[in-house]
């Protein structure tokens, strides 16, 4: 018996998490692992991914790491081929890998724009394309794309990021319609102000751009959130696991907020 867990609805399921070596992705992967799934962590940082897998192994959970740059189609194709070679199926895909940068639109460079669009939008396209190919053959599967509250509202200093995340929702809603006949669910999760290393970088950028203190930015984030605290990666993971479970079988094409009450348009 692995760890102290009991058999669950995710026992023997194969779950892919892109960007699963840190932050939200790691929390999602760990929650699935606790519930019995076979975890595949895909990330450009293979050393960090292997370290996370070792942590999971020490807890008695099953996980493998596969180096993947989701902006490269051949990398994604190879990732899915390796999963099928090892496990023979793919039950759940969580497309979480993402990036951000900050700046006023008039100061953004082409490189700023391309970085966000390539990872956040094109990377989701490549991932879903090859995940869907396998799931269509299987006749089942769950795809969960991690978007953002910036998928539904404008945020100053993040126009390029918001554009890339708006694309994720539009793409996912269309894919959901295309895959519905094959009993494949496609949904998005839209987190708010999540306490991650990415958020730390964003707080530092924002403080510098606005010429205010780090503490002031953090307090403003908390004040924006009606539930009165920064979001934790584990908050996001709970919603992802619901969308991967049988309880969500009649949900598809949805973009669900988990923002602590921050309103979106």
Q: Which of 61, 87, 130, 161 is catalytic?
A: 161
The edge-to-edge listing of strands for the beta sheet with 92-95 is: 63-67, 38-43, 14-18, 92-95, 141-146, 184-191, 255-258
Confirm if 95 and 144 have CB atoms less than 8 A apart: yes
C-alpha span between 18 and 8 (Å, rounded): 23
Interatomic CA distance for residues 29 and 241, integer angstroms: 10
Q: Is 182 a catalytic residue?
A: no
Tokens of 166: 């708006």
74-85 in b/e burial notation, b at 16+ Cβ within 10 A? ebbeebbeebee
DSSP codes, 21-40: TSHHHHHHHHHHHHTTPEEE
C-alpha to C-alpha distance for 9 and 11, rounded to whole angstroms: 6
Q: How many helices (H) and strands (E) does the chain have?
A: 9, 7
Catalytic residue positions, numbered: 161
């Amino acid at each position: 018996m692995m760890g102290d867990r009991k058999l669950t609805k995710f026992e023997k399921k194969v779950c892919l998490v892109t960007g699963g070596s840190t932050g939200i992705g790691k929390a999602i992967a760990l929650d699935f692992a606790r519930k019995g799934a076979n975890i595949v962590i895909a990330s450009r940082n293979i050393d960090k991914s292997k370290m996370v897998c070792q942590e999971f192994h020490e807890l008695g959970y099953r996980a493998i790491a596969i180096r993947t740059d989701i902006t490269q189609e051949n990398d994604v194709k190879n990732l899915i081929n390796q999963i099928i070679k090892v496990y023979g199926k793919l039950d759940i895909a969580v497309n979480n890998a993402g990036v951000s940068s900050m700046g006023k639109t008039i100061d953004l460079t082409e490189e700023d724009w391309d970085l966000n669009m390539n990872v956040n939008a094109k990377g989701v396209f490549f991932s879903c394309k090859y995940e869907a190919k396998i799931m269509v053959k299987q006749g089942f599967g769950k795809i969960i794309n991690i978007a953002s509250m910036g998928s539904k509202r404008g945020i100053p200093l993040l126009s390029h990021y918001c554009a890339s995340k708006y694309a994720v929702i539009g793409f996912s809603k269309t894919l959901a319609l295309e895959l519905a006949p094959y009993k494949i669910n496609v949904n998005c999760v839209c987190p708010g102000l999540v306490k991650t290393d990415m958020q730390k970088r964003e707080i530092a950028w924002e403080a510098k751009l606005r010429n205010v203190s780090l503490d002031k930015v953090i307090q403003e984030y908390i004040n924006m959130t009606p539930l009165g605290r920064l979001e934790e990666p584990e908050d996001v993971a709970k919603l992802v696991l619901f969308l991967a479970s049988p309880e969500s079988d009649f949900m598809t094409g949805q973009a669900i907020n988990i923002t602590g009450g921050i309103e979106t348009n």
